[in-house]
Chain A
Amino acid sequence: MLLQQLISGFATGGLYALAALGLVLIYKTSDVVNFAQGEMAMFSTFIAYTAMTSYGMSYWEAFILALLFASALGFIVERFFIRPIQNAPVLSLLIVTLGLMMIVNGIAGWVFGFETHSFPAIVGGELKIFDAVISKSNLLTLVITVFIMGILFYMLKYTLAGIAIRATSENPTIARLMGIAVNHVYSITWVVSSILGAIAGMFIAPTTFLDVNMMSSVLLKAFTAAVLGGFTTFVGPVVGGLILGVLENIASGYISAQLSSTFAFALIVIMLWIKPTGLVGQKVGKKV
């Protein structure tokens, strides 16, 4: 029972972490909080769904297509909606991403309709380990999530592009003085963030079902993960997401699944109250 809950908790938590990493990646490099992240992910998930149901693509073909779409979407949103106003006050940028959230949601409803669809899991079936019954799709989701995070962290830590992203997130002006085209960095972070969101969307859709509002609660969980772990580091959201996933799983097992959003909000409030910088966050001076 416990092993089972841990695995499925980690699997969901890993997805929150992926979405949260997307948020943090953009926030750290450009100070933008992307409220549209969830809706963009939902839209990409619908692309995969449509590719499978209307165009007869296989799961993985549709998956790749959705990731390509997500890349383009992230690129376009940054290039045409965010970059023109990148020097605007933080509040204006918030309003823009909130607006985008509603626009993408509206367009999705118009294009795909408001019905709820079931979305296939990566694999079916279950696995018996000792006396625990573990869903194969949970296990595979977890493996893939860990793998993706591994690649992401490796790139951030060791590649020149990754170091440039971190440098830009510390001080964009000085990064420019060192010859980094920070606009390219912003493009890259939006593309990667959109891809991470789409992966989270497609892996979570089998449990939440697919409809235009599927990501609103996931986005909330991603924010919780980021706040819980700390918005200022890349490890923070991973830690936060995994903890949230497990706690939520246990809580819904013993208390009520309906309360999971309430639970997430309560966690945000408590965390901000105890340690505003998050579990692994550090205090940082405001960028100028």
Chain B
Amino acid sequence: MLSLIDIESSYGYVKVLKGITIEIKEGDIVAILGANGAGKTTMLRTISGLLKPSRGKIEFMGERIDGKPPEIIVSKGIVQSPEGRQIFPSLSVLENLKIGAYTRKDRNNLSKDLDMIYHYFPRLKERQNQIAGTLSGGEQQMLAIARALMAKPKLLMLDEPSLGLAPRVVKEIFEIIKEINQEGVTVLLVEQNARQALAIANYAYILQTGLVVMEGKAEDLKNNEEVKATYLGGKSPGSNVN
């Protein structure tokens, strides 16, 4: 469905992605793991069109999308929930959701989609007129995911949805991610929390300083000694302690 082929991306002269090749199959949950600074967010920014890759190509459903602006990429069905949640704090919950649906042509179905969103996240319904900045961290994360869902994505990209949340909330959010996937949305899940991510993913890539250093089926990686030591153990550099 989505393939990155030998992608290089830079901020100015600093090359951050140094030739990344990944493949995401329709219907899967694919996890991208890696320590802080590995280039995971940069990869998502490149897919979304905020950054233009300096080499390589990106194909989505058989069509090249690298170099296209974000609004085109969103309308093709690739939507992300950015790192650190980044909802629009002074807009209401409902307004945030409406912005999520900004590129949609079929505006008539919006109320049906809102019902679907509120089914996943009942707490957002209770708070739909509340100013988003006043939500709790977990609720803001839910809103960020819900906002992305309002765009009716074919591929939903989540950048560290577990960041800074209590284990109980993380568990709840991961269950919802799984449910969303079962409804047919392909998910690209970026995480430092490798244990949680591997628990729901089909396939995973491990990124280190801008390169893919390992990839494989999630259950294989879970049992891999090296992965266990570096990413699932306690002594991993910069990984989430949840």
Contacts and interface: CB of A to CB of B under 8 A. Distances in A.
A85 interface: no
B74 interface: yes
Interface of B: 48, 50, 69-71, 74-75, 79-80, 82, 86, 88-91, 95, 98-100, 102-103, 147, 151
B91 A179 contact: no
A178 B151 contact: yes
A174 B71 contact: no
A17 interface: no
Given A167-B91, A171-B88, 15 more contacts: A160-B102, A163-B98, A163-B99, A164-B99, A167-B99, A170-B88, A170-B89, A177-B74, A177-B79, A177-B80, A177-B82, A179-B70, A179-B79, A179-B103, A181-B71
Interface in A133-192: 160, 163-164, 166-167, 170-171, 173-181
Contact of B102 (A170, A171, A173, A179): A179
CB-CB nearest 8 A-B residue pairs = A179-B74, A179-B103, A176-B70, A179-B71, A170-B88, A181-B71, A167-B88, A174-B86
Interface residues of A, number: 16
Contacts of A166: 88, 90-91, 95
Contacts of B88: 166-167, 170-171, 174-175
B49 to A, nearest CB: 8
A72 to B, nearest CB: 25
A178 B75 contact: no
**What is the interface of chain A mostly: helix, strand, loop, or mixed?**
helix
A167 to B, nearest CB: 5
18 contacts: A160-B98, A163-B98, A163-B99, A166-B90, A166-B91, A167-B88, A170-B88, A173-B50, A174-B88, A176-B50, A177-B50, A177-B74, A177-B79, A178-B99, A178-B102, A178-B151, A179-B102, A180-B102
Nearest to A176: B70
Contacts of A180: 71, 99, 102
A171 B86 contact: yes
Contacts of A175: 88, 99
Interface of A: 160, 163-164, 166-167, 170-171, 173-181
Contacts of B70: 176-177, 179
Contacts of B69: 176, 181
A85 B86 CA distance: 26
A170 B147 CA distance: 16
A173 B100 CA distance: 14
B91 A163 contact: yes
A163 B70 CA distance: 18
A185 to B, nearest CB: 11
Contacts of A164: 99, 102
Contacts of A160: 98, 102
B91 A170 contact: yes
Contacts of B74: 177-179
Contacts of A177: 48, 50, 70, 74, 79-80, 82
A163 B95 contact: yes
A179 B48 CA distance: 10
Nearest to B96: A167
Nearest to B144: A174
A167 B109 CA distance: 22
Q: Which of A160, A167, A178 has the most CB of B within 10 A?
A: A178
B183 to A, nearest CB: 21
Contact of A174 (B75, B82, B103): B82
A243 to B, nearest CB: 24
A148 to B, nearest CB: 23
Nearest to B104: A179
Nearest to B70: A176
Q: Which of B69, B98, B102 has the most CB of A within 10 A?
A: B102
A179 B150 CA distance: 12
A170 B90 contact: yes
A167 B151 CA distance: 16
A178 B74 CA distance: 7
A160 B97 CA distance: 11
Nearest to B49: A176
A175 B74 CA distance: 11
Contacts of B98: 160, 163
Nearest to A285: B89
Contacts of B151: 178-179
B93 to A, nearest CB: 12
Most chain-B Cβ atoms within 10 A of its Cβ — which of A166, A171, A174?
A174
A186 to B, nearest CB: 14
